[in-house]
Amino acid sequence: MKPRKVPLRKCVACQQMMPKKSLIRIVRSPEGQVSIDLTGKKSGRGAYLCGQVACFKLAHKNRALDRALNSTVGPEVYEQLARDFLAVEEEYLLTRDREGEDDHE
Ligand SMILES: [Zn+2]
């Protein structure tokens, strides 16, 4: 087996480099809509958060997300993101706990 290169991305809040897979992608679509991208396949400008609500809050507070997405993220978008983020965080933590195990369907 060839060693696989793990793509790293930086969490916009805590500035930590993490494997792309363990980060949550926030994407701004070409239409300007900001949403959480769980598939990692949405087109648009993306920013990464390491999946902790603390980081989301920090990114909100210091506008790191706005800077990363090069757009002003409105309060209603943050509200929506916060709700989605909480839902996703649980899933994210579960996935992370399962890391290393084989994924059988
Ligand atoms: Zn972080």
Tens digit of pLDDT for each residue in 78-100?
Answer: 998 888 888 877 777 777 676 55
Instruction: Give residue 41 CA to ligand 1 midpoint distance, Å.
Output: 21
Domain coordinates in residue numbering, the chain: 8-97
Coil vs helix vs strand at 34: strand
Instruction: Please write the tens of the pLDDT for every residue from 6-33.
Output: 899 999 999 999 988 888 899 999 999 9
Instruction: Give residue 91 CA to ligand 1 midpoint distance, Å.
Output: 16
pLDDT at 71 exceeding the cut of 80: yes
Local confidence band at 70 (pLDDT 50, 70, 90 cut-offs): very high
- Mean pLDDT computed over 57-77: 93
CATH class of 8-97: alpha beta
Coil vs helix vs strand at 16: coil
Specify the pTM.
0.77
Local confidence band at 4 (pLDDT 50, 70, 90 cut-offs): confident
C-alpha 89/C-alpha 76 separation (Å) is 19
Of the candidates 86, 77, 92, 90, the residue with the CA atom closest to the CA atom of residue 29: 77
* The two structure tokens encoding residue 54: 């603390």
What residues sit around ligand 1, an ion, with C-beta below 5 angstroms?
A: 11, 13-14, 50, 55
